[in-house]
Amino acid sequence: MTLGKRKLRIGVFAGGVSSEREVSLKSAAQVIKNLSPDKYDIRLIEVSETGRWLLHGTPTTLIEQTSEAPKTSPIPFEGQQDLDLAFIAMHGTFAEDGRLQSLFEILNITYSGSGVLASAIGMNKSKTCELVGRRGIVSPQMFELYKAPTDLDALDIQIQESIHYPCVIKPNASGSSVGVSLVDNKQMLADALSLAFAEGGSVLVEQYVHGREVTCGVFGNSHQTELTAMPVVEVITKSRFFDYNAKYESAETQEICPANLSPEVTAQIQRAAQTAHETLGCDGLTRSDFILSDDGTLYFLEINTIPGMTEASLCPKEAAAMGMSFSQLLDIQIDLALKRHN
């Protein structure tokens, strides 16, 4: 893509301060590898683990800026005014929760993906499930903890009387299954809570639903363009759930795309993913995750407003099943970002 006679200047943002930093760096590497140099002038901007902004003049040349910045309020790199678009390849806290998007809004930088409000809500799993539930899409039963309980006996009773064991304990605002545990009994609660609260100040205790893990990407700008649902993927893993290891490290995980489902069930999942995207007012590319239970009920789990772009990620696989290359998937996201901001 060009502006006039020059290439579009794209800044690919990577790294960050969250536990998903390594996934982000892998996403950014694949994005840079697949952005067409004939269309784009590509720059890599890395946010370090300490919140420092680093401008890579080329993917192999690092130019460190002189300003040190705190984790919660990074100072933009010099020369940010030269960018036509920021492609966000960051995940988790600060990157996917609306705060980075807020900074780009203040600086008047066009950026990929959803806006501030949709990003903030999408990062909050309980709020997302509440809003999507109003559109008739079922989620597992859950309750939220805002601090680590001192009385595990009381929590144990609450679990047994409401959602029962096994249950899922997970951070309310995190991704890549970081901090998620499948808990079978009271003896496992302390470690699971410690792991989840390490990711943030709010934790969900959620009903465990046994079934098939499926996911579906959607691209389009809510209330501006047509929303396109991508082919459904079924994830088959030997782990008890699709944890971090199964997502990024296990050679035994299978990702079947298109999933071996009936046309009716496939359409149901695609409609639910489109509904979640639209309900939150998302833009660009999202991916919604579901469990198709043993009795055929579809349970919505969460939405990812910045889906992974690594070699192992699901949305590129869905694009390939549509006959779309990785480069074309990136072009679509850039085009939607320009449409939204213009």
Catalytic residues: 20, 176, 248, 287, 289, 302, 304, 308
Q: Give the chain as a 3 state SS string.
A: CEECCEEEEEEEEEECCCCCHHHHHHHHHHHHHHCCCCCEEEEEEEECCCCCEEEEEECCEEEECCCCCCCCCCCCCCCHHHCCEEEECCCCCCCCCCHHHHHHHHHCCCECCCCHHHHHHHHCHHHHHHHHHCCCCCCCCEEEECCCCCCHHHHHHHHHHCCCCCEEEEECCCCCCCCCEEECCHHHHHHHHHHHHCCCCCEEEEECCCEEEEEEEEECCCCCCCCEEEEEEEEECCCCCCCHHHHHCCCCCEEECCCCCCHHHHHHHHHHHHHHHHHHCCCCEEEEEEEEECCCCEEEEEEECCCCCCCCCHHHHHHHHCCCCHHHHHHHHHHHHHHHHC
